[in-house]
A and B are shown apart, each in its own frame.
Chain A
Amino acid sequence: MLLLTFNRGTLMGDASSEVQYGTLDLMVLKTLDSMGPLHGYGIARRIEQVAEGSLALNQGTIYPALVRLEAKGWISSDWGTSDHNRRARFYSITRAGRKQLAAEAESWARTVAIVNRLLGDRS
């Protein structure tokens, strides 16, 4: 079970925090990219679905990530109406966000390839 945790007492964002926050950020970006604009609950639900139970995610942890992503300009937000006619804040990915997503995906792929090669060599 991959338990996502966060450091307490975050300082202003720096490189070392990207390593831990990066995973959740990436998932949020991907979700918005494929699903289009969603509100917070929707994003959390979707991530849970995709992970098929292998993620124990405290849904509340979405919100700091959303604030962070918006600060970086990778997503944008606006008020809208959800099904059930509730007023909710909807988030959508921006162009910069899409670029970031592509870059992250590429970097993941490279990492996976290297690890595979390493593991492949040993066997």
Chain B
Amino acid sequence: MTLRTFRSRLWGSVAKRNDDERLAEEIQTHLDLLAADHMARGLSPAQARTAALREFGGVAYAKEQSRDEHGFPFIESLLQDARFAIRQLRRTPSFALTAILTLAVGIGGTTAIFSVLDVVAIRPLSYPNPDRLVVLEESLPNFGPFPVSAADAEFWRHESTSFSHISLVMTMLGNLTGQGEPERLQIGAVTPGLLPLLGARPVLGRLLLDEEDVPGRDRVVVLGEALWRRRFNADPSIVGRKISIDGNPSEVVGVLAPGFHAPNIKHLINIPVTEMVIDMWKPLALTPEDRRPVGGYSYVAVAQLKAGVSLIRAREELATVQARLLRQVSGKGDLKTFVAALQDQMASRSRGSLLLLLAAVSVVLLIACVNIANLQLARSVARMKEMTVREAIGAGRSRIVRQLLVENLVLALMGGTAAMAVAFFALRLIVAIGPADVPRLDEVSLDGRLLGFAMLVSLASGLVIGLVPAWRVGRADLQASLKGRGESDARVSAARFRAMLVAGEIALSAACVIAGALLFQSFATLLHTRTGFVTDAVMTTTLNLAGPAYQAPQRRMALLDAVMDDVRGLTGVTSVAVSTQLPLTGTGAMSAASIEGGNIPGMERPRADVRSVTPDYFRTMEIPLKTGRLFDIADRDRNVTLLSEELARQAWPAQDPIGRRLRFGVDARAPLYEVIGTVGDVRGMSLDQPLTPTAYVPFPQRSQTNFTLMVKTDGDPSALMSRVRRIVRAHEPEVPLGPFRTMDDVVDESVAPRRFQVQLVAVFALLTALLSGLGVFGVMAYSVAQRRGEIGIRLALGTPPGGIIGGVLREALRITAIGLLMAAPLAWIAGRFLRSFLYGVTPYDPVALAWALAIVVGTALAAAAGPGVRASRVDPMSALRCE
């Protein structure tokens, strides 16, 4: 079509009425002239007019054809179909409302979950050059990957050619004091280059400088935007002021602009750590001690690939550099390097979980569409007469089918619009209660892309819904229906088809319910896992004793002794203890356990989680003593240690460890510790990890500034909170207290992500069961209504009402059985996929399967009960009369 004809059509669609009138006038003139001609030849006026009409051909047809040359007939007929569809929907508001609501929930849920997935895994990170940002780690054959050592990173910086930048970051705690309530902050100690690398910009002042990355010149900080607002009231004159961190003054040199989301350290490394959102940044300022060749592996390395260097090349190149390093420095064993794209690393843990949720919610949507399709199919059978009349007055079969499709598209689009509201609230809900285990959750929002996605899903849903009745109508013999013949045949075959559709729904729903049941069972198993310690009635809080006043360990010990004495004196307290780390809150200090006289290479020695505890720790946590004895007060200055059974087994297999000695770490000059006993194993890291080999040393040895205070009571632990707080404050007003949590809370928090996932999947699974139950209800109700006559005869002949109900239930069971058969391969596939999410249960766990079966069959029976009872109440006389 040329531009000219397009313009003409466009004009035509606007100026319709004028054109119509003009054409009518023209045709009338034409007819008059023709008639005049005939009259001139001798015909009477009436005959002349008839002859004229005959010669002209169809007037209406000519007008129609001409009209089609104007405007855009295709679009106009679509709009006509749409208007008709809306009118139809308004005539059956209950159907329309149900359908739109169902679609809104399905499409909205899918969009919400997809938007989370999009931000977490699909959308590029909001840093400059996101595809060139990588994380570097080190690993051992039987352990890792884990954070890197500073010396190794330094070597890579000099020797490797693949990276334009290697930065290190470590998180630490710091006490902010000097103004109001002391607070414990998370501090990110970084190589100054990291912040600009991630696109951070200052809104006040400046970022960190390289010359400040030296011990002695590093008492400068850059505040995060949230901290600045919350703690300093967004004071614009903050730059240049000194604030007190751990008792030492640090100068604020800048404030970060909002919108900077540092990657959460928790997501960058594979070792579980506690939640860390960084409040402020300071230079890393490595000391020579930190840079030792076998220094601590505590730094997260974020690097940028040089332009043009691929990830694969960088991996290979770094491996060669590492090989050179291992030749130069001994004792590192088979230490390998690991390079991963930053985005992958951040997304990897949640990606699988989100895909699972997306699959579940898509099934919900699919079942919802099939349900609506079922209803539409029933309605289309009832509208056979209407279709036939349409065909009779000239609609082609394709036009009729198209009209059905448009009806369903309109329905779906209306559902899609309502879905926006659902998605909005669902997103708010997810962001609010979703565990912070999902990275970048704060970047989630509803935007244009997602609206487009929702519309796409709506259109797809509309097509899915519309295809079924459209296909049926397309093949139907409409003429027969007008004559009244084919109607019952059509109804029967439609009914069978609908039953098949419902069986399909049940199959999908059963697969979903099985998945939900498996996850639920797995979670329950997890919660019942033996932790190795007792969690009830133990209150915990954390203290960070930093600052010049507490440099000496004796000072720290003195304060804690005083606090513990006072707390012990409170009524209801049965024991008090202090430890460097709570179980289930991440690793403690991991060290190699080097047994005396052993000659295993450093990297292959058993790894011990070393925790420093007071003697009452074991009593407070009810960790059993297995052999030997526990610590007493005198052990404080002695190098003695208690090992967990697993560690003892690894260090001295099949031997009695008591009396033997070992060192922590690979330095041969470190002090030897004598083993005085073994205790029960605990799960130190998380419930789904194996028991942690743990070594305990008497407090305050090997401790820093951060401790957990544990108080066991015989009453309600939360009642102690304020009293303990007062005691601590009385002894030291400037020490920030961490949150008070009971051990039960700690356990709960450690499983929060999993719980969230299970809850969501369970909700979706129950939704699918509900929807397929509705499907069964619809089909059964229809079947009963159709067979009233037959039912009436049966009742008249003496079948008890129970028998009728039984018949209906049996039919429902038959459909369910077919559905379950179809579900078997689906459930098998789902089981394979779920394997990585399950803890302690196999994908074929009989208990879970039994529950799932019960739910599916139970829903079907419950759904069929209503129509069944209705059937049994049929009045035989009126039923027979209606027939």
Contacts and interface: CB of A to CB of B under 8 A. Distances in A.
Chains A and B bind each other: yes
Contacts of A66: 66
A36 to B, nearest CB: 18
Given A39-B29, A86-B33, A61 B8 contact: no
Nearest to A67: B69
Contacts of A10: 65, 68-69, 73
B29 A86 contact: yes
B763 to A, nearest CB: 48
A86 B26 CA distance: 11
Nearest to A64: B65
B74 A11 contact: yes
Interface string B384-398: 000000000000100
B57 A13 contact: no
A121 interface: no
Given A10-B69, A11-B74, A60-B56, A72 B34 contact: no
B66 A63 contact: yes
B9 interface: yes
A51 B62 CA distance: 21
B607 to A, nearest CB: 74
B784 interface: no
A39 B30 CA distance: 8
A99 to B, nearest CB: 14
B4 interface: yes
A73 B1 CA distance: 13
A47 interface: no
A52 interface: no
Interface in B615-657: none
Contacts of B12: 71
B23 interface: yes
Contacts of A71: 4-5, 8-9, 12, 69
Contact of A59 (B6, B57, B74): B57
A95 interface: no
A15 to B, nearest CB: 10
A13 B8 CA distance: 12
B6 to A, nearest CB: 8
A68 B33 contact: no
A63 B1 contact: no
B562 interface: no
Interface string A1-25: 0000010111111100000000000
B214 interface: no
Interface string B43-67: 0000000000001111101110110
A52 B391 CA distance: 39
Contacts of A108: none
B32 interface: yes
B29 A87 contact: yes
B1 A12 contact: yes
Contacts of A13: 1, 5, 69
Contacts of A6: 65
B5 A41 contact: no
B19 to A, nearest CB: 8
Interface string B1-44: 11011101100100000000011011101101110100000000
Given A86-B32, A87-B29, A63 B23 contact: yes
Interface string A66-80: 111011110000000
Contacts of A89: 22, 25-26, 29
A73 B11 CA distance: 14
Contacts of B65: 6, 10, 61, 63-64
A14 B26 contact: no
Nearest to A60: B62
Nearest to B33: A41
Contacts of A72: 2, 4-5, 8
A87 B8 CA distance: 24
Contacts of A40: 26-27, 29-30
A88 interface: yes
A67 B12 CA distance: 10
Nearest to B29: A88
A111 interface: no
B72 interface: yes
Given A6-B65, A82-B33, A86-B29, A60 B5 contact: no
Contacts of B219: none
A123 interface: no
Nearest to B398: A9
Q: Which of A71, A73, A87 has the most CB of B within 10 A?
A: A71
B70 interface: yes
B74 A60 contact: no
B423 to A, nearest CB: 37
B677 to A, nearest CB: 90
Nearest to A15: B1
A122 interface: no
B27 A12 contact: no
Interface of B: 1-2, 4-6, 8-9, 12, 22-23, 25-27, 29-30, 32-34, 36, 55-59, 61-63, 65-66, 68-70, 72-74, 396
19 contacts: A9-B73, A9-B396, A10-B65, A12-B73, A12-B74, A39-B29, A40-B26, A44-B30, A58-B58, A59-B30, A59-B55, A61-B62, A63-B23, A63-B66, A67-B66, A71-B5, A71-B69, A82-B29, A84-B33
6 closest A-B pairs (Cβ-Cβ)?
A58-B57, A60-B62, A71-B8, A64-B65, A60-B57, A67-B69
Interface of A: 6, 8-14, 39-41, 44, 58-64, 66-68, 70-73, 82, 84, 86-89
